[in-house]
Structure 1
Amino acid sequence: MIVVTGATGALNGATVEHLLQRKSADRIGVSARDVAKAQHFAERGVRVRQGSYDDPVALRDSFAGADQVLLVSSNDPAADVVGQHRTAIEAAAAAGARRILYTSQQSAVGSPYLPAAVHAATEAILADSGVAWTSLRYGFFGSLDQLLGPWRQTGVIARPADGPIPWTDRADLAEAAAVILAGDRSFDGPVTLSAPAVTLDDFARFLTELTGRPIKRIVVDDEQWVTEQMENGTPEFVARLTLTLFQATRSGYFAGQEPLLAELLGREPRSAADQVAGTLAT
């Protein structure tokens, strides 16, 4: 059995959908904090059990019988996230899982991007768990407006100096995770799943071509940008955390491209330009 956490969210929920195309529903389980939100999976024959990274007893029950467990990284800003991950890893090991998979991030080790430290610490726990493990180091995904700022209103992408960033389609990552979980090939340790990297200059070009409106890229001094974000209501710690992303990209931490995502999908991953086009169409 394959048990997936975080399946009521967009990323791992899509992974379960892809698993259902490859495995019978009775071979798939979901561990959810709120089982009511996973009812649509239960109605299709997926085993749904309550589980929380803060409740090791419930987790062991939700992981029972699992050959593989896919752990989504915690997004609780008030929690001891590494501690939560340790609890989940230990619960999966105690439940007898033969392999633990974890949604990590490209360049998890050594990157100045602050969330990377959590992923690196989690990978270290996995390595010491005594269970075979795979860390799915995903390329970046999420809200383009969060990355680019209010370009629609201003006509400019005003951000700190940047470098290549592998903006990757979340749907592609979900599908690739399902291919790994359902396949016969073992992936040991960290594997990188990302689309080709692009810069904010590239995004400005994409937007100009797609909208017919000139969108400019303006480089803003780091501290000036943090100050402007705070003046617009962003908490300082959030602004400084985001700043470390730009600092990491311009230091080249995300410049490399790996072919594995395309190999797993059997096609090229959706490009950043295609993702921008899709965003504008919605």
Structure 2
Amino acid sequence: MIIVTGASGQLGGATVERLLERLPAEQVGVSVRDPEKVPEFAARGVRVRRGDFEDPASLVHAFEGASRVLIVSTATTGEVAVRHHRTAIDAAKEAGAGRILYTSHMGSNPASPFAPMVDHAATEVALRDSGVPFTSLRNGFYAASGAMLLDNALRTGELAVPEDGPVSWTAHADLAEAAALALTGGGEPDGSTGGELDGLTPALTGSEVIDMAGMAEIASELTGRTIRRTVVADEAYRAGLVAHGVPEPAADLLLGIFVASRQGEFAEVDPALARLLGRPPVPFREFLATTVSPAR
């Protein structure tokens, strides 16, 4: 049985949907903190069990009978996130999983100024130390995060953010399909997971990099409204977020995206995702076209 955590979230839920296109429902299980949030999976025959990263015993029960477990990284950061991930890794090992998969990030780096990258790096160490065969899916930066950064600019006409660098924005849908392929053998004839999908994967990215200026240009073309990209000093950006009610840790997190991107941490483009999917990844422009509306 293949188990997916975080199935009530965007990436986890989409991965389950892709799995159900490849496997009978009785071969798929989900581990969620609140089973009532995924009635659609239970109704289709998926095994739904409560699994809470704060409750190791619940995870062992949720992972029972698993051949492979996909641990979707939590929405927390810092020590809590790493502890949650280690708890899930230990539970998967105790449940007898033959392989543990984890949704990491292309920018995984213990020295990154973007805090989640430090957490991903620490989790990858825990995966190595577990002694269980593992796959750390080094996903490209979510295209949905890029759209989120544009949200205010679509209202004001100004994308006022710190100095940045190019990012290989990647759609959730592509990454969910890649995760499902990795869970079911990655296209290997014998159903094994080998090569690029064993251990740390190459960066699973879109096929182009786009910086904030490029995003503003694309958004302008799609909406028919001029969206100017202006550079804001780091501290002024952070202070503005806090002044608008963003908690300081969250403001630091957002600022870290720009600091890390201008250091080139998200600028890699790798053909691995296209090879795995057997097609080009969804371009950022195409993704953004589904989220913005033209001027009326």
TM-score normalised by L of structure 2: 0.91
Q: Equivalents in 1 of 2:270, 2:221: separation in Å?
A: 28
User: What are the residue-to-residue correspondences of 1:169-180 with 2, within 5 Å?
Assistant: 169-180=171-182
Deviations 1:149-186 (A, max 9, x none): 51122211100000011211111111111111112232
SS class of match (1:42): helix
Question: Does residue 1:265 correspond to 2:277, yes or no?
Answer: yes
Match of 1:49 in 2: 49
Match of 1:214 in 2: 226
Match of 1:242 in 2: 254
**Post-superposition shift, 1:76?**
3.7
Q: Is the 8 A contact 1:166 1:197 kept in 2?
A: yes
User: What are the residue-to-residue correspondences of 1:50-199 with 2, within 5 Å?
Assistant: 50-76=50-76, 80-109=80-109, 110-141=111-142, 142-183=144-185, 184=191, 185-186=193-194, 187-191=197-201, 192-195=203-206, 196-199=208-211
Q: Equivalents in 1 of 2:28, 2:266: separation in Å?
A: 33
SS class of match (1:280): coil
Match of 2:39 in 1: 39
Deviations 1:96-152 (A, max 9, x none): 001000111112024221111111111100000010011111112234453135112
Q: Equivalents in 1 of 2:247, 2:113: separation in Å?
A: 20
Q: Equivalents in 1 of 2:255, 2:106: separation in Å?
A: 17
Identity %: 49
State which drifts further: 97-106 or 36-45: 36-45
Q: Equivalents in 2 of 1:32, 1:79: separation in Å?
A: 21
RMSD (Å) for aligned C-alpha atoms: 1.6
2:243 to 203, 207, 231: 231
Q: Is the 8 A contact 1:148 1:158 kept in 2?
A: no
Q: Equivalents in 1 of 2:221, 2:36: separation in Å?
A: 44
Q: Equivalents in 2 of 1:55, 1:241: separation in Å?
A: 27
Q: Equivalents in 2 of 1:66, 1:161: separation in Å?
A: 45
Q: Equivalents in 1 of 2:103, 2:161: separation in Å?
A: 27
TM-score normalised by L of structure 1: 0.95
Counterpart amino acid of 1:151? A
Q: Equivalents in 2 of 1:158, 1:43: separation in Å?
A: 46
Q: Equivalents in 2 of 1:54, 1:233: separation in Å?
A: 29
Gaps of 5+ in 2: 186-190
Q: Equivalents in 1 of 2:280, 2:59: separation in Å?
A: 36
**Post-superposition shift, 1:78?**
9.2
SS class of match (2:38): helix
Gaps of 5+ in 1: none
Q: Equivalents in 2 of 1:79, 1:60: separation in Å?
A: 21
Q: Equivalents in 2 of 1:145, 1:230: separation in Å?
A: 21
Q: Is the 8 A contact 1:148 1:159 kept in 2?
A: no
Counterpart amino acid of 1:189? G
Q: Is the 8 A contact 2:216 2:229 kept in 1?
A: yes
C-alpha distance 180-145 of structure 1, shift in aligned 2 (>3 A): closer
SS class of match (2:291): helix
Q: Equivalents in 2 of 1:92, 1:175: separation in Å?
A: 22
Q: Equivalents in 1 of 2:36, 2:241: separation in Å?
A: 37
**Post-superposition shift, 1:41?**
1.0
C-alpha distance 143-107 of structure 1, shift in aligned 2 (>3 A): closer
SS class of match (1:70): strand
